[in-house]
Amino acid sequence: MAEEEGGNVKKVIFLSIVLAVFFLSGCNNSNNPGNPGKEGNKPGEDISSVINSKGGQNSAEFVPDWLYQSLLAKFDLDAENELELPREAITLAQVNMKNSAGPQIAAYVTLDRVEGYFLLYEFAEGNYKEVYSLHQPVYGLQVYGGWGGKQMIAFVSGHGGTGYQENYFHLISYTKDGYKEIWSGLAEKMEFVQLPYRRTVGSLNLSMDNQLLIYSTMNHEYAKPEEDITNPDRVAKSVELYRYDPQAEQFVASSN
């Protein structure tokens, strides 16, 4: 459904109440810089307790050597290029996406608007192994679930250039085929090359049991941005509802 405002159209105020959901911004980088530690640098060591003791999810205070070397290899760098890939730029999160003996570690780093990586590692048979990756700049991460069920990860990534940026949500879950993207949607799109300027911002909400997904967008259009960029000439709103299909192991559009 959609609503438009502009010209002499009467403004409508929406009050949307969604209980027990989490919000993930499409353009928010949650890096938390810190000093890298030296504990747990062995490839076979479970680092979850160290992450928890040093700030929990989204903590960049502890980056083990094996993970740092893994990222250096992704960017085709070596140990002498630490200034190009500072440890404090790496964000970590511990997750539990499947019923297994050890947790998973999500990590991401963004070097600029072109280069970045999201990586997911699983602890199995005494070592962390890469099980999912995406080669794009990443701008935020959120972990969903954890109340007696499997967790899911949503992160925002994308590319841009002069006057243009397009980012997407990626919702990752463990499935019978491994760790897969089970839903994706536009997080933010900016087109500031020619008039009218346009900007779309999306938001993603999941229920506590990860069975219901609410996706909403706000579309702004600016005819004269040089006069007032905070006051769009046209606003369009939309909301979409998705339900988790356990057979397909993905979110599908709901008719109600």
* Bridge-based pairing state of the strands 104-110 and 91-95: antiparallel
Considering the domain boundaries, does residue 166 fall inside one?
yes
The beta strand positions in 23-77, using DSSP E, are none
Considering the domain boundaries, does residue 94 fall inside one?
yes
The model's confidence at residue 137, banded by pLDDT at 50, 70 and 90, is very high
Write down the pLDDT at residue 35.
27
Considering the domain boundaries, does residue 225 fall inside one?
yes
Considering the domain boundaries, does residue 12 fall inside one?
no
Domain count, the chain: 1
pTM tops 0.85: no
End-to-end CA distance of the chain: 12
In the predicted structure, residue 138 carries a pLDDT above the cut 90? yes
Mean pLDDT for the stretch of residues 99-105: 79
Mean pLDDT for the stretch of residues 76-93: 79
Higher per-residue confidence, 153 vs 77: 153
In the predicted structure, residue 59 carries a pLDDT above the cut 60? no
Write down the pLDDT at residue 157.
97
The model's confidence at residue 79, banded by pLDDT at 50, 70 and 90, is low
In the predicted structure, residue 82 carries a pLDDT above the cut 70? no
The model's confidence at residue 90, banded by pLDDT at 50, 70 and 90, is very high
Return the structure tokens found at 181.
């993207």
Write down the pLDDT at residue 226.
77
Considering the domain boundaries, does residue 13 fall inside one?
no
Cα–Cα distance, 172 to 71 (Å, whole number) = 20
Considering the domain boundaries, does residue 63 fall inside one?
yes
Q: What is the CA radius of gyration of the chain?
A: 20
Write down the pLDDT at residue 20.
27
The model's confidence at residue 61, banded by pLDDT at 50, 70 and 90, is low
Write down the pLDDT at residue 101.
63
CB 167 within 8 Å of CB 188: yes
Whether residue 86 has a cis bond before it, omega within 30° of 0: no
Considering the domain boundaries, does residue 196 fall inside one?
yes
Considering the domain boundaries, does residue 11 fall inside one?
no
| Domain around 178 | 2-6+18-253
Burial class (CB in 10 A: 0-12, 13-18, 19+), 191: middle
Write down the pLDDT at residue 145.
84
The model's confidence at residue 80, banded by pLDDT at 50, 70 and 90, is low
Cα–Cα distance, 141 to 136 (Å, whole number) = 13
The mean pLDDT of the chain is 77
